Amino acid sequence: MLRERLLIFLKTILLAATILFLAVAVFGTLGLRNRLLDDGPAEPADWNSRQFEESVTALNTEFSEHWEKLGLTPAPEAPVFTLARRLSLALAGTVPSLEELRALEAQPPQQQLDWWLDRLLADARVSDYLAERFTRAWVGVENGPFLAYRRRRFVLWLSEQLRRNRPYDALVHELLTAEGLWTNQPAVNFVTATIQEGQPDAVRLAGRTARAFLGVRIDCLQCHDDHLGTIRLGDPPELREGTQRDFHRLAAFFSGVRVSGLGVHDRIAPYRVQLLGDNSEQVLAPAPPFLIDRLPAQGASRERLAEWVTHPENRAFARAIVNRVWGLMFGRPLVEPVDDIPLAGPYPPGLERLAEDFIRHGYDLHRLIRMIAHSAPFLRDSRAEFPLSEEHEKHWAAFPLTRLRPEQVAGAVIQSCSLTALDDHANIFERLAYYSQTNQFVRRYGDRGEDEFHDPGGTIPQRLLLMNGELVREQTRARSWGTAAARIAAAARDEQQAVRAAYLAVLSRLPSPTEEERFTEMLRKRGKRKRAAALEDLYWVLLNSTEFSWNH
Amino acid sequence: MDSMRINRRTFVAGAALWTVAAESLARQAATSNKRPRSIIILWLQGGASQLDTFDPHPESPHSSQVRAVATSAPGIHIADSFERLPELMRHVALVRSVVSREGDHERATYYVKTGYRPDPTLVHPSVGAIVCHQLADDVEIPRHVAIFPGPWPPRGGFLGPQFDAFHVHDPASPVPDVRPFVPRDRLRQRTNELLDVVEREFARGRPANLHERTQHRRSIEQALRMMDSQQLAAFDVMQEPLSVRERYGTSQFGLGCLAALRLVQVGVRCVEVTLDGWDSHANNAEIQRERVKELDPAFAALIEDLQERDLWQDTIILCAGEFGRTPRINRLEGRDHWPHGFCVALAGGAIRGGCAIGESSPDVPEGSEKHWKHVVQPHSIADVHATIFQALGIDYRQQIVTPIGRPIRLCEGEPIRELLAG
């Protein structure tokens, strides 16, 4: 008797707990959450001032003159949903949610782009994503020497700096000079990522510094002078051939950096190297490969280097980041490869002006992103009523079509199968699913590692993964509770509304009249009972389109 | 809509033309040979040390204690870390005097894989892409395969992304994602809607070469064809008995080589298998020895099985990395990048085995900048490519018009005659 009662009691508790859990989960997913924005960037941002507008106008004039000279008619302006999709992909690595698009639509047309940028730049998803992309360039994709290097901590720290919009020169200054432990001074991981044989590697640090912060590839000079005429150093207009000495004098700035139980610190250590063709080693004094008179005469080695790298007259520093951010936003940098920008030009339209603006306005990354988002090339559509050629894309008179990166595709699959935004405020189950599924998918889709803008090709496995892969299967399953396909099927007033919702959620646009007619008809034919399965089919079709896997 | 229709028509017309061309090529192939010819590339990513592999110089003060062993090829010695390859060297030819001017991993990889130096205006196709382009056939699975592709896998370049390699990351498992999760008729319905409705809408107003550029349509069609193919089994090395697998060594690379054999058997044109980890800037001797332990059994078993399965006459093996390593040893007991005289190995029925072309310099001549002057009988990698094309019956001299309108030779080199069998 007692046992039976106890059993009934336990069953009741279990049932109550299940109901409670379901209720929480349902409200967590379906209920509208009051989404408070995070702390915004460290203002004052002058991006909405007249001065900002004038800078944008000047930038755009450069492009329109360029197009006119080449006789190219620019593509018309892209619809705002397309712009929103581009920005979300570039800055958050995913597509906008249906809910976000509806909110955007409700804004006054003139303010829509800035409203969208405001939201994104204050969103922790954006700083997290950008931090990951920058980390690839600055410390690589490997997890490196385990004890002295904490990649994850570095990314989190960087994300925080980006969200607060710390001036870029101060950020890089800290990376180049930081001291202390990798755990509580995350910036030192820039140094400890290069540890070999127990100590940081001055040679790798020099190569990274040159590529990431100056946009020059001088790694070849490690072993020999440049006999091929591909590396030009010195100061414009009189550049000279790069030499092995150039490389090692840059490396010499890092010769005293050491790691001990107390973390990264510096001591005074002369840099010794045996140059090719020499019989013995020599000591080289640190010196930069150009703009040598801007190197402070006094101070600790890394301090002097950081001062020189971030000096306002060192335009290579600004060009490198402008080119990289442009690449992030378009999928293609202004100068290719992204880290090989000539010191004396010629430069494509936009680059010098953006670099100048960046220096003049306190190395403000948010401002740079806003400038590019308002630039005439970014606003162009990728289609037109007249024939578009490759020349249009090459000269930014039409938005270039680029293949999405693996994590963007994964992020977009997961986001489009959930109607509300998967952000920091999404519940933890959603976030966990987000991470594990994304990682698995990204590996299979073919991660590009550090090589940020180089497309390695190989598209059939990508197609197979989207057609038959586990992620798409799970995310579109109509019977599974909580997928967008199932929810739209259950909630849509009629077929037309269902088709529109699916298009907005997956492709961030409304269907064309032909598309709407065709798919409404398909849904109608299948009937209400099979509507969920029909939506599953529609979702599959949209996820497998070129439009979904490409930025446009 | 209209432009789409035109595109489709031109597409169909193009396909028809292509088919005619393919047939004539296939006929050509049929008269000259009974089976498709293939190439297997064993890619030593990072740059193998010639001195610790196929070109040891134990007499040099910088030999890092490498000993040389005699092989079945008279007069040819290789590093003693090879155990099984020495007895098969009578089937292998070495070019010990390859010179290049690219010392950066990315640029050098591009150079050795394509035969051309990087050029900002043009992306050159890799050897495998050229072979696929030149020799048409009707294989249902991808004809160009890269197993363990690194950061710079073989590409179609200006020949088009349809010649890019198909990537395989895990040869020990069947090809993933080839089983659809809905019944076939429903899948067909889905693909029709995709291609007829959504793809058409996306193409409207966009550049005319959209499909060519994205290869989206084509990849879907190929993926569908592949999903139905019996030939997929070629990817599954686990179908080979354990006794066969074991001969390739216990490494992933070994399984990759076995997969290459099986793929060539069903008619795949080019398989590249990457063995990474040769970039020995520190601890050179140890690193190279470890790598050789993986390379040796796989290379040896591949030679034996190609011969046993009657594929030897129609297959060429190229074993190469992006450059060699410095004759001198650095302060960390490592060897750095050395494009000025390194070694590649070739094997296969059309290659005269048991010979070595050229000689590399066992030491850096003091104060010299023109290192290649110290290499006897230097050859560019393009010469090696020309040799391969010649052996496969491909006219290496033919001109191809690139998309920018510039005619370019398929290969800039000349065959190394001594390497070609009879």
Give the rounded percent of residues in chain A with a pLDDT score beyond 70. 83
| Interface touch B369/A541, C-beta < 8 Å | no
Least confident stretch, A168-182, A367-381, A464-478, B382-396: A464-478
- Do B327 and B257 belong to one domain? yes
Whether A395 is in a domain gets the answer: no
Residues A177 and A299 occupy one common structural domain? yes
Calculate mean pLDDT across residues B21-35.
44
What B63-68 contacts at long range (C-beta under 8 Å, 24+ apart), as own/partner pairs, is B63/B362, B64/B284, B64/B285, B64/B329, B64/B333, B64/B335, B65/B285, B66/B285
CB contact under 8 A, A515 and B194: no
In this structure, the answer to whether residues B274 and B345 fall within a common structural domain is: yes
pLDDT: which is higher, A417 or A317: A317
What percent of chain B shows pLDDT beyond 90?
66
Query: What is the per-residue pLDDT across A338-386, written as a single tens digit (0 to 9) for each?
Result: 888 999 889 999 999 999 999 999 999 999 999 999 999 999 999 999 9
Confidence (pLDDT) at A39: 43
Please report the pLDDT score of residue A514 as a whole number.
97
Q: Is the CB of A526 inside 8 Å of chain B's CB atoms?
A: no
Cβ neighbours of B5 in A, within 8 Å: none
Tokens of B189: 């319905």
| Same structural domain, B88 and B107 | yes
B142-158: average pLDDT: 91
Mean pLDDT across A56-73? 97
Do residue B302 and residue B409 come from a single domain?
yes
ipTM of the complex: 0.85
Residue span of the structural domain in which B399 resides: 36-174+236-419
Domain match, B187 and B240 both: no
Do A412 and A267 fall into the same domain? no
Pair type for strands A257-260 and A263-266: antiparallel
Per-residue pLDDT at B15 = 41
Residues of B with CB below 8 A from A552's CB? 202, 206
pLDDT in tens, B103-120: 888 889 999 999 999 876
- Closest alpha carbon to A235 in A141, A339, A315: A315
Which residue from B338, B298, B357, B354 is spatially nearest to B48, judged by alpha carbons? Answer: B338
Write out chain B residues lying below 8 Å of A542, CB-based. 198
Helix (H) or strand (E) holding A73: none
Angle of helix A315-330 relative to helix A80-92, nearest 10 degrees, comes to 120
> Is residue A47 predicted with pLDDT exceeding 80?
no
Domain end residue (candidates: A294, A309, A324): A309
Top residue of B106, B192, B198, B271 to mutate, by most chain A CBs within 10 Å, is B198
Q: How many domains does chain A have?
A: 2
Q: Which of A227, A457, A542 sits opposite B153 (nearest CB)?
A: A457
- Please indicate, yes or no, if residue A18 is contained in any of the structural domains: no
Give CA B385 to chain center in angstroms: 11
| Contact flag B202-A448 (C-beta cutoff 8 Å) | no
Q: Do B282 and A197 touch (CB under 8 A)?
A: yes
Residues A435 and A287 in one domain: no
Choice between B147 and A486, residue whose per-residue pLDDT is larger: B147
Taking 80 as the threshold, does the pLDDT of residue A313 lie above it? yes
Q: Cβ B201–A515 below 8 Å, yes or no?
A: yes
Neighbouring C-beta atoms of residue A229, cutoff 10 Å? 8
Query: What confidence score (pLDDT) does residue A336 get?
Result: 86
**Which whole number is the average pLDDT over A476-503?**
87
In a domain, A73, yes or no: no
- Tokens representing A200 are 């940081």
pLDDT (mean) for A385-413: 92
Q: What is the Cα–Cα distance from A367 to A111, expressed in whole angstroms?
A: 17
Find out whether B82 and B73 touch, Cβ atoms under 8 Å: no
Q: Where a domain ends, among A309, A337, A367?
A: A309
**What's the mean pLDDT when you consider all of chain A?**
86
Determine whether the interchain pair B207/A444 forms a contact, defined as Cβ–Cβ distance below 8 Å.
no
Per-residue confidence band for A445, with pLDDT thresholds at 50, 70 and 90: confident
Residues A408 and A549 in one domain: yes
Do residues B337 and B323 lie in contact, with contact meaning Cβ atoms separated by under 8 Å? yes
Do the chains contact at A460 and B198, CB–CB below 8 Å?
A: no
Q: Identify the CATH number of the domain in which residue A552 sits.
A: 1.10.3130
What is residue A293's three-state secondary structure? Answer: helix
Do B203 and B242 have their domain in common? Answer: no
Greater confidence (B203 vs B3) lies with B203
In a domain, A466, yes or no: yes
Chain A hits for B120, Cβ within 8 Å: 336
Give residue A258's pLDDT: 93
User: When comparing pLDDT for B181 and A33, which is higher?
Assistant: B181
Judgement on whether residues A412 and A549 belong to the same structural domain of the protein? yes
Q: Which domain holds residue A293?
A: 144-154+166-309
What DSSP assignment string belongs to A339-403? T---TT----TTHHHHHHHHHHTTT-HHHHHHHHHHSHHHHB-S--SS---HHHHHTTSSPPPEE
Interchain CB distance below 8 Å, A544 and B161: no
Residues A548 and A419 both lie in one domain: yes
Q: Are A524 and A495 within 8 A, CB to CB?
A: yes
Question: Do A424 and A552 have their domain in common?
Answer: yes
Closest residue in chain A to residue B199, using alpha carbons only: A545
- How sure is the predictor about A480, in pLDDT bands with cuts at 50, 70 and 90? low
Segments of B18-152 assigned E as strands: 38-44, 68-70, 77-79, 92-99, 144-147
Q: Which of the four pLDDT bands, split at 50, 70 and 90, describes residue A225?
A: confident
CB pairs under 8 A between A and B: 164
Span B136-150, average pLDDT = 89
Residue A238 lies in a domain: yes
User: pLDDT value at position B79?
Assistant: 97
Same domain, B241 and B116: yes
In this structure, are A148 and A297 located in the same domain? yes
| pLDDT number for residue A423 | 61
B355 and B272 together in one domain: yes
pLDDT at A228: 58
> Are B113 and B221 in a shared domain?
no
Which residues in A lie closer than 8 A to residue B227 (C-beta atoms)?
464, 468
Domain membership of residue A116 (yes or no) is no
**Cα–Cα distance measured from residue A299 to residue A320, given in angstroms and rounded to the nearest whole number:** 26
Q: What is the pLDDT of residues B318-376, one digit of tens each?
A: 999 999 999 988 888 999 889 989 999 999 989 999 999 999 877 766 455 666 677 89
Q: What pLDDT does residue A520 have?
A: 97
Contact A466, A472 (CB under 8 A): yes
Q: Is residue A42 part of a domain?
A: no
Q: Are B90 and B73 in contact (CB under 8 A)?
A: yes
The Cα of B241 is separated from the nearest Cα of chain A by a number of Å equal to 27
Q: Comparing C-alpha atoms, which of A54, A74, A4 is closest to residue A374? A: A54
pLDDT tens digit sequence for A2-36: 667 766 766 776 666 666 555 544 444 443 333 33
pLDDT given at position B369? 60
Q: List, for residues A113-144, the tens digit of each pLDDT value.
A: 999 999 999 988 899 899 988 988 888 766 55
Residues B199 and B251 in one domain: no
Q: Is residue A92 part of a domain?
A: no
Residue with the larger pLDDT of the pair A522 and B4: A522
Domain end among A309, A332, A358: A309
Domain shared by B96 and B20, yes or no: no
* A 255-294 near B (Cβ less than 8 A): 276-277, 279
Min Cα distance A451 → chain B (Å) is: 8
Residues A281 and A150 occupy one common structural domain? yes
Q: Out of A134-143, A269-278, B178-187, which region has the weakest mean confidence (pLDDT)?
A: A134-143
- Enumerate residues 497 to 516 of chain A having a beta carbon within 8 A of any beta carbon in chain B: 512, 514-515
User: Between A222, A392, A465, which is nearest B177 by CB?
Assistant: A465
Partner-chain residue, chosen from B161, B199, B368, that has the shortest CB–CB distance to A545: B199
Residue whose token pair is 């496995």: A461
> Long-range contacts: B212-218, Cβ < 8 Å, 24+?
B212/B160, B213/A401, B213/B161, B214/A401, B214/A403, B214/A546, B214/A550, B215/A459, B215/B160, B215/B161, B215/B162, B216/A459, B216/A463, B216/A545, B216/A546, B216/A549, B216/A550, B217/A546, B218/B162
Q: Are A172 and A305 contained in the same domain?
A: yes
> Domain count of chain B?
3
Give yes or no: residues B379 and B312 share one domain: yes
pLDDT at A143: 57
- List the beta bridge partners of residue A408: none
Q: Is B82 helix (H, G, I), strand (E, B) or coil?
A: coil
